[in-house]
Structures are given as C-alpha cells and as structure tokens.
Amino acid sequence: MSTPQLDEQIKQQTQICNNLKDEIGRVLVGQDHMVSRLLIGLLTGGHVLLEGLPGLAKTLTIRSLAQAIDTGFSRIQFTPDMLPADVIGTEIFNPKEATYVVRKGPIFSNLVLADEINRAPAKVQAALLEAMQERQGTIGGQTYLLEEPFLVLATMNPIEQEGTYPLPEAQVDRFMLKVIVGYPSKEEERKVVDRMASGQAIPEIRRVATPQDILNARNTVNQIWIDEKVRDYLVDVARATRQPQEYGITDLDGMIETGASPRASISLMKASKAHAFLQGRSYVTPHDVKSVAPEILRHRIILTYEAEAEGKSNDDIIRQILDNVPVP
C-alpha cells in the first residue's frame, strides 16, 4: 500500500479512536493516560492490567469503552471463593433428556472486565490464563474458540491490600500493558464533585464504533513502518533489563533478579506502532518506544532484595534504562 493511502486510512481510523475518547470523556473526568493505554490494548489485541486503589474510576472507564463499541461485554467480579467454572463455564445435566448441556461462562465475550483479578485463587487464574493466551476455553473436554476482538481488561488492587493473591508470573506476562492509575488532580477532582453535586444522572454512552472498525484499525496498525534502527533500539531496551552491564549501566548491577522476556520486545514493538497510530503517524519514532516502555516492562521485571532495600521501584529501573540506552 502506498504511503498516501496509508496516511488517509490512519486519518480516518484515528478519528474513530478520538470519537471513543470523546464519548468516554462525557462520563469520565481526566484519566487521559489510562484511556489512551486501553486504546493501545484494543488496537493490538493485548490484554491490559490496571492497578490502583478503589474509587479511581477503573471499572467505569472499561465499561464505558465497551459500551462505546457495539460489541459483547461481560464483567467478572473475582472473589476468593470462585471456581474455574465461574469463569469458563460448565456442563449442566438435563434430567428430562438425560443429556449434558454446555453453559458458557462470562469469558465468552469480546471485552471482558476482570474486576479485582488478584482476589481469586490460583485455579481460577489458571483457567483465565488459557483464555488469554490461547483465545479458547475448555468445558467438559471440549474446546471452544473465543470470538475476535477478544480482550481482557483487568483491574487489581495493590498487593498490600488485605485479601489479595499475587498473580502467577506466567499470567502477568500475558498482559501486554500494566497501567498504574493514580489520583486525579485537584481541578479534576473538583469537576467530579461538581458533577455529583448536581444530582444529574450519568450520561448514557452512545455507540460510536463497531468491532469491524477495531479490526480494520488493527490491520492498519500492523502496516505502520518501523525502521531497523528503531527495532534495534527497542530490543536494546528490553535486553538492558536482563544485562544492564552490556549497556554500561553499572548502577543496576545486582538490582534485577529477572528481566523482561522476548515477549516484552514483541509487545514493545506492537504498542509503539499503536502509539504512533494514535498520534496520526505512519512510522514509529524512538519517542513512541519510550512512551510505552514503562507500561510494557514494569510488570515483567523482578527486583532483588537489594533493590527493594534501597527503595528502588520497577519504574525507577526502567527510567534509568531509558536514560542510558543510546537513542538512534
């Protein structure tokens, strides 16, 4: 495809994404960063993990996004007493016909909100992992494929909260992005209070996009140009989490127990393309890589006790890597 044709496609399809942002903005104040990262997940088919304290509009944002797209949506509230069948589904015995009937669980939808995902036990996490990675679910020995677009948008509370389970590392790695949701600014919080004080009902979300629009945009994102030097750069960023001494970052010696896997490099490339797309560009720059790197890498790095003793966070490590890996 010629560049003018691609530029025209990007112009049309980014307008759809802008419409989604505007529609969500009718019910949500602020949190622009969270919304843009959810769109990156949508454009790449990558699952998104949102971490933040209760009351920061995580659930409202995801529900509003699903409503703005004319697609299937289900919400799973994770609790400590859940069973895998509560997610995947089960077989129900029909005594009249002496047969078993398959009842599919809430995972068989397009946009799946996994609310407070780290409150569920390990067996439930394993069931969810198959759906996230294989895009399928198994009920009674029979495998059923999930329809595209399929995306798990999960919320979790900080691990320090009571009643939470640490997510298995294999499952955490399946999330393309981990977004930290913070408190709104004073001005934004004042707007929220003003809206609630008025007593007016929250506006109903209108459908401004279709699943086919999203799938078409994904095809366009795949065509975004990424130069060889930028590819080398993003691989260097991911490798620096494993071998920081190769890049002269001696301050990180003994700080990282486990670095990001090659899956992180793939995710970094896809997310960088989607970021460039949302900016209306047909090519990726090192700035795109830097912009999405924290969300791609923060949940894939395990720090040593020494790093934790010095008060280092994953974001501190990533910032240091981005500051020191040479930019092409």
Closest alpha carbon to 252 in 155, 171, 319, 328? 319
- Ramachandran angles phi, psi of 321, nearest 5°: -65, -45
CATH class of 224-324: mainly alpha
Q: For residue range 18-47, what is the model confidence (pLDDT) as tens digits?
A: 998 888 888 877 778 888 999 999 999 899
Q: Find out whether the peptide bond into 149 is cis, omega within 30 degrees of 0.
A: yes
The 3-state DSSP class for residue 188 equals helix
Q: Does the domain formed by 8-196 have CATH 3.40.50.300?
A: yes
Q: How far apart are CA 102 and CA 92, in angstroms?
A: 6
Question: 8-196 and 224-324 share one CATH topology?
Answer: no
| pLDDT of residue 2 exceeding 50 | no
Q: How far apart are CA 81 and CA 3, in angstroms?
A: 54
What is the β-pairing status of strands 73-77 and 136-139?
Answer: unpaired
Could you tell me which residues are beta bridge partners of residue 180?
Answer: 51
Q: For residue range 255-310, what is the model confidence (pLDDT) as tens digits?
A: 888 888 899 999 999 999 999 999 999 999 999 999 999 999 998 888 888 888 88
Residues with Cβ within 8 Å of 33's Cβ and at least 6 positions away in sequence, in order, are 179
| pLDDT of residue 1 exceeding 70 | no
Q: Can you give the residue ranges of every domain in the chain?
A: 8-196, 224-324
